[in-house]
Amino acid sequence: MSTSEAPHGEPVTTVLTWEVRPGRERQFEEWTHGITRCARRFPGNEGVSWLRPGQGHRYHALLRWSDPHRLAAWLESPERASWHARIAGVATEIGSERQSTTGMETWFSLPGITVQAPPRWKMVLTTFLGAYPFTFLIQWLVLPRTADWPLPLRAAVLPLVLLPILTYLVMPRLSRLLRLWLYRPPEG
């Protein structure tokens, strides 16, 4: 894929899990620096972070990509395959534990319950239902009082007021209220 192509889809974060052989942690950690440098040069990469285990031998890599297609290109690339060949006998990627998210899922989690995120269209509709009334109120009550402010400050008012309200008050309650609709398994 050329770097001039437009991205397809939303940004995505993937978690990869690695099982490291006992006693080989230092070698694995050195390897993580090299593959991370390689991944960062790949089109669409927006960052790689590594989580070391508190105990045990499982390491987790958080890969952020501009879109799912560029992530897939990296996962299937000869560069990545070459780096994987270097770690044979030291660590194994646990493919069954690979997870991907778009980022909206945090607004749609239920306390104490592990569920699969709702379909994106349901997340968008629910977010609209939560955001619209507060966007209306903010534009009616707050924004007229900022008319004399410089544009960058005026533009900051809506997200500075709206996002904390949505994140801490509205979306947790709305996702619980609509949970039967949001998390209903597909019929079929």
Supply the pTM of this predicted model: 0.51
Q: pLDDT tens, 22-67? A: 999 999 999 999 999 999 999 999 888 888 876 778 888 888 888 8
Long-range contacts from 131-139, C-beta under 8 angstroms, 24+ separation:
131/162, 131/166, 131/170, 134/161, 134/162, 134/165, 134/166, 134/170, 135/162, 138/162
Q: pLDDT tens, 113-166? A: 455 667 878 888 999 999 999 999 999 998 899 999 999 998 899 999 998 898
- Residue 168 and residue 80: Cα distance in Å, rounded? 39
> What's the confidence (pLDDT) of residue 124?
87
